Structure 1
Amino acid sequence: MNPASIRLAAAVLGLGLLASCASQVPAAPETRPAGTAPETRPADAAFPRSVQVPGDPAQKITIPARPQRIAALSPDAAEAAMELAGPDRLIAVPASSAGASLSSHAAQMAKVPTKLPPGNDPDPEQIISLAPDLILVTTRHGGERDAQAALAEAGIPMIAIGNGWRTLEEVKQNLTLLGSALGAESKAAELTAEIDRRARDVAARLGEPERRPAVAILSNQAGRPFINAADVLASDLVKRAGGDLVADKIGLRATAPVTAEQLIAAAPDAILLIDVTGKGRESFAGVLDDPAVAELPAVRDGRVTLLPARISYGTGGVRVADGLEEIARWLHPEEMR
């Protein structure tokens, strides 16, 4: 057995001993402020329960009790868990989740006890040592897929989200799935209903737009401007908001660093900047300030807008409806009055 396996096995054994000891400690009596009624969740509190997790193959995950120590390994899952369960039940989230550009709950995220290191390569030993009773991962991230295999050996209930939070439909599916896993079905139904209601309102107000501007979507998540492919949530929002995608026009298959030449050749009608890092429009200056790019009609005529990732990426939760409305107002101000 190699050293890493030995350490992982020791961590799993320690987790088992911790759980055994905990089961022998009498439960503390419930306390609450005088004059208040106990919290009731008749429809949401039935545990143990089995949760069907879509995937290839699909999995049935048994959750023995309402999770109280949730480790969310990706920003998108962390944001959804925060909206569904609140801060008191989260014990670990990515460090990036405490950034106001990425999260609508940055202040609450900052109070979560453990911040996982930047990037998408969580350390299984660290996660196990936290003694979580539920782990949330998003398997589009390679590092999380690798960690998933090691964490599975620990026997901790784990929800592995296989889609990429790339569309409103996927966001709603994930909120529903996590609502079931967390014992928060009513809250999940409330959030998905709000997304549906606001998306229908935008569609009704736009109708069939006479023009659909071609939109280039740029983001700054890796320290330099990237051009986004069609498989990100912002792309779905643009299409629902009455725009077309430059990514489709130029056959872009994967999000990648953008060059001035590429943007000039794409000739977008409008440019949407997604601020992941909180560094604002200045972080896109390397491309937008290129003299030839500055002469593009989209740039010259001011058809460039900046949105925070917290309302336009998969970390948005119910706030993606804000992003949809903002983009629709930007592209079609007359219809969205």
Structure 2
Amino acid sequence: MSPRTRTALRAAAVVLAAALVTAGCASQDSQATEQSGRTTATLENLDPTPIAENPTPALPVTVTGFDGTEVTVTDTSRIVAADQYGTLTETVYALGLGDRLVGRDTAAKFPAVESVADVTPSGHSMSAEAILALNPSVVLTDTSIGPRTVQDQLRAAGIPVVFFDPTRTLEGVPGQIEAVATALGVPEQGAELAARTSDEIEAAKALAPEDGTPPTIAFLYMRGTSITMLAGPGSGADSLIEALGAVDAGTASGLTQQFTPITSEAMIAASPDVFLMMTKGLDSIGGLDGLAKIPGIAQTPAGRNQRVVDMADGVLLSFGPRTGEVLQALAVALYGPE
């Protein structure tokens, strides 16, 4: 079966799923607010689906990175992709160039890249020595990870380093895919992957019920009890929540920062019906029992119902080629399959 045929069948399946779930949810009145307990959203396929099989890059190619620096890429046989979210690694794999990956970031956790060297073992910083040891032909990165001296050191060593936009939004997904594809010399595959992803995003949006009261959802970022944050405008989670036909609690309550430390006052003001969390974040505080001990949580509708939707850390906010699949899984977890 050709990649184009697989893409067409995949898009049709997502559209059909959207139609079926929407039909089942249309008569329900805010089913998301009536549920209780924890629901983990999972993807049907753990690995991204490549848009092509080992495409041949058209090189050399010269691009201007997000940092304003013009970079010429002449060889894509050994790719290192590193950002804070796993987006770039996921995109390289989905373009059909997964066998060329020699280095990835910690956030890229899908099975197909488990054997690829992790160049960000701490999760937030790179090691120049570790990357140079991989003899990369090109490095894809952004300012969400660093330190910048490492990326500059790689350039000084003669390695093409291409920076991409670090902002993660729903609207920016297609453009990010095409930018990565262009830098790697596979613009045709980039256009196809961007189109497929856009179709899947639109189909997933259709899963949200059109009637009833939209649920209010708060995205909580936690790493143990020492780091407990409530998301607001520009966090990335807000665009996912809106795409699910819901209201972002942090934004609606008047927060102005992307992330604000949780206080009883802020949480009670947000008054969410549902908490959205990363799975490891929820587990790091002791699950639902630990969550109930966070200030203000128990005083919210979501806290009283222990209503939490969680998803794997390396998937939820990646905003890569699987964004439509992420939205679909979240919609099913939030509203139910029927």
Do both proteins adopt the same fold according to a TM-score greater than 0.5, normalized to the shorter chain? Answer: yes
* 2:62 counterpart of 1:50: yes
> 1:233·1:312 contact (CA, 8 Å) conserved in 2?
no
How far apart in 2 are the matches of 1:236 and 1:298?
20
One of 83, 99, 105 as aligned partner of 1:94: 105
Which residue in 2 is equivalent to 1:32? none
> 1:237·1:324 contact (CA, 8 Å) conserved in 2?
yes
Larger radius of gyration: 1
Which residue in 1 is equivalent to 2:131? 127
Residues 220 and 198 of structure 1: CA distance in aligned 2, closer, same or farther (over 3 Å): same
Residues 282 and 320 of structure 1: CA distance in aligned 2, closer, same or farther (over 3 Å): farther
Q: What does 1:281-296 align with in structure 2 at a 5 Å threshold? A: 282-283=286-287, 285-290=289-294, 293-296=297-300
Which residue in 1 is equivalent to 2:28? none
Which residue in 1 is equivalent to 2:258? 254
Instruction: For 2:203, give the aligned amino acid.
Output: D
How far apart in 1 are the matches of 2:272 and 2:284?
21
Say which SS state the counterpart of residue 122 (structure 1) adopts.
coil
Which residue in 1 is equivalent to 2:199? 197
Say which SS state the counterpart of residue 321 (structure 2) adopts.
helix
Which residue in 1 is equivalent to 2:213? 211
Say which SS state the counterpart of residue 137 (structure 1) adopts.
strand
Instruction: For 1:319, give the aligned amino acid.
Output: R
> 2:205·2:327 contact (CA, 8 Å) conserved in 1?
no
Higher RCO (CA < 8 A, seq sep 6+): 2
Q: What does 1:130-149 align with in structure 2 at a 5 Å threshold? A: 130-141=134-145, 143-149=146-152
Which residue in 2 is equivalent to 1:84? 95
How much has 1:290 moved relative to structure 2?
5.0
Q: What does 1:1-337 align with in structure 2 at a 5 Å threshold? A: 41=55, 44-53=56-65, 55=66, 57=68, 59-65=69-75, 67-74=76-83, 75-97=86-108, 103=109, 105=110, 107-113=111-117, 115-141=119-145, 143-164=146-167, 166-204=168-206, 206=208, 209-221=211-223, 224-248=227-251, 249-276=253-280, 279=283, 282-283=286-287, 285-290=289-294, 293-314=297-318, 317-332=320-335, 337=338
How far apart in 2 are the matches of 1:270 and 1:133?
45
How far apart in 1 are the matches of 2:81 and 2:161?
10
Which residue in 1 is equivalent to 2:42? none
Say which SS state the counterpart of residue 91 (structure 1) adopts.
strand
Say which SS state the counterpart of residue 255 (structure 2) adopts.
coil
Structure 1 unaligned regions, length at least 5: 1-38, 98-102
How much has 1:302 moved relative to structure 2?
4.6
How far apart in 1 are the matches of 2:139 and 2:224?
26
Instruction: For 1:64, give the aligned amino acid.
Output: T
**Paired residue total:** 282
> 1:237·1:323 contact (CA, 8 Å) conserved in 2?
no
Instruction: For 2:250, give the aligned amino acid.
Output: A
> 2:220·2:229 contact (CA, 8 Å) conserved in 1?
yes
How much has 1:171 moved relative to structure 2?
2.3
The alignment yields a C-alpha RMSD, in angstroms, of 3.0
Structure 2 unaligned regions, length at least 5: 1-52
| TM-score of the aligned structures, taking structure 1 as reference length | 0.71
Which deviates the most, 304-313 or 242-251? 304-313
Residues 78 and 184 of structure 1: CA distance in aligned 2, closer, same or farther (over 3 Å): same
